[in-house]
C-alpha cells in the first residue's frame, strides 16, 4: 500500500484558549509545533495564522511569512497555507489569496460554501475561479477541501473546464455541524465520487478523528490530524501538543504495516512539481 501522508493541521482559526489552552497562537508557536510534527513524521503542515494577542484568525501575509520562512529554513516539510479568510468577515477575494505569493507548496481550496462556526464559510464561484487561476499561476497545489458531496461536484466541473488539474488531491473534512457526517458510509460514498488516480485524505472532527484515521489507514487514504480539528487526545484528556497526535498515528500505522511518507515521498505522491520544493 502507498506510504501514509500525515498532514498536521496545527491551529486553525476557531478554537481559542478558553477551551484549548495548549493551542498555538503566535508565529513562533506555530513554527515550533510544526517542527515537532515534522520530526514526528508529518509530511505536510496545514497552516492558519492568528492575531498573536487575541488568538483570533488572521489572513495577514506578514504573519504567514513569519511562519513560512523559518519552516523553509529549518525543515523540508510540505507547507500548506489556508485561504479560508477570517470567520465572520467577508474579506475581498484578493486578500484571501495574498499568502499565495509566499509560494507555499499547497493551499486549501474550499470547493463551496457551508454553515460553519455560527456563520457561513463563504466560497462563491468568483472566489473559486480566482483561487484556481492564482494557484495555477504560482504553482501551488490546491488541497480541495470537501465538507459535503456537492463540493466534489463543483471541483469536477472545474476540472472539466481545465481550472483544476490531475492528480487532484481531496481533503475530506467530516463531522462538521452542517457537513457530511463522519461515518464509514459517508467516507466511502465520497471516495467513490472522485476521479481515478486522485489522492485523498480525511479528517474527522473531534471524537471522529481516530475512527476516520483508521478507515483511511485501511483504505489507502491519507490522514489529517491536529488541534484545528480535534483537541482531545482521548476522552476527557486534552492533547498538550500536536506532535502527540502524529506520534500515535505513526505507531499505529507502522504496527499495521504501512510506512510513513517523508516530505519528499509525499511530494511525489501528490504530484508536487520540483520547482516549488526545496
Ligand atoms: Zn484549515
pLDDT tens readout for residues 185-209: 999 999 999 999 999 999 999 999 9
Q: Ligand 1 mean position to 275 CA, how many Å?
A: 25
Percent of the chain exceeding pLDDT 90 equals 94
- The Cα–Cα gap between 270 and 258 comes to 17
The pocket of ion ligand 1, defined by CB under 5 A, consists of 82
Query: pTM of the entire structure?
Result: 0.96
What pLDDT, in 10s, does the model give residues 123-143?
Answer: 999 999 999 999 999 999 999
Burial class (CB in 10 A: 0-12, 13-18, 19+), 122: middle
Pairing of strands 6-9, 222-225: parallel
Give distance in angstroms: CA of 79 to centre of ligand 1.
12
Task: Kindly give, in sequence order, each residue whose CB lies less than 8 Å from that of residue 236, ignoring residues fewer than 6 positions away.
Answer: none
| Residue 120 Cα to ligand 1 middle (Å) | 15
End-to-end CA distance of the chain: 27
Between the CA of 251 and the centroid of ligand 1 the distance, in Å, is 25
Q: How far is the CA of 111 from the centre of ligand 1 (A)?
A: 13
The pLDDT value recorded for residue 277 is 55
Amino acid at each position: 500500500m502507498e506510504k501514509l501522508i500525515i498532514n498536521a493541521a496545527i491551529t486553525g482559526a476557531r478554537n481559542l484558549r478558553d477551551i484549548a489552552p495548549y493551542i498555538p497562537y503566535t508565529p513562533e508557536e506555530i513554527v515550533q509545533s510544526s517542527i515537532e510534527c515534522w520530526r514526528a513524521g508529518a509530511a505536510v503542515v496545514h497552516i492558519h495564522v492568528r492575531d498573536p494577542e487575541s488568538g483570533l484568525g488572521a489572513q495577514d501575509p506578514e504573519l504567514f511569512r513569519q511562519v513560512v520562512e523559518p519552516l523553509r529554513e529549518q525543515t523540508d516539510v510540505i507547507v500548506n497555507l489556508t485561504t479560508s479568510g477570517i470567520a465572520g468577515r467577508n474579506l475581498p477575494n484578493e486578500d484571501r489569496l495574498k499568502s499565495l505569493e509566499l509560494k507555499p507548496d499547497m493551499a486549501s481550496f474550499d470547493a463551496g460554501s457551508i454553515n460553519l462556526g455560527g456563520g457561513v464559510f463563504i466560497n462563491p464561484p468568483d472566489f473559486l475561479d480566482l483561487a484556481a487561476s492564482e494557484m495555477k499561476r504560482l504553482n501551488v497545489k490546491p488541497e480541495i477541501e470537501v465538507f459535503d458531496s456537492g463540493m466534489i461536484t463543483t471541483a469536477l466541473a472545474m476540472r472539466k473546464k481545465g481550472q483544476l488539474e490531475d492528480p487532484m488531491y481531496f481533503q475530506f473534512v467530516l463531522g462538521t455541524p452542517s457537513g457530511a457526517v463522519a461515518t464509514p458510509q459517508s467516507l466511502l460514498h465520497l471516495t467513490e465520487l472522485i476521479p481515478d488516480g486522485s489522492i485523498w485524505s480525511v479528517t474527522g472532527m473531534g471524537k471522529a478523528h481516530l475512527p476516520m484515521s483508521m478507515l483511511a489507514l485501511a483504505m489507502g487514504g491519507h490522514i489529517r490530524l491536529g488541534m484545528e480539528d480535534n483537541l482531545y487526545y482521548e476522552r476527557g484528556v486534552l492533547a498538550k501538543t500536536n506532535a502527540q497526535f502524529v506520534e500515535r498515528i505513526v505507531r499505529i500505522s507502522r504496527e499495521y504495516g504501512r510506512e510513513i511518507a517523508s516530505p519528499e515521498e509525499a511530494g511525489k505522491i501528490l504530484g508536487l512539481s520540483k520547482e516549488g520544493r526545496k
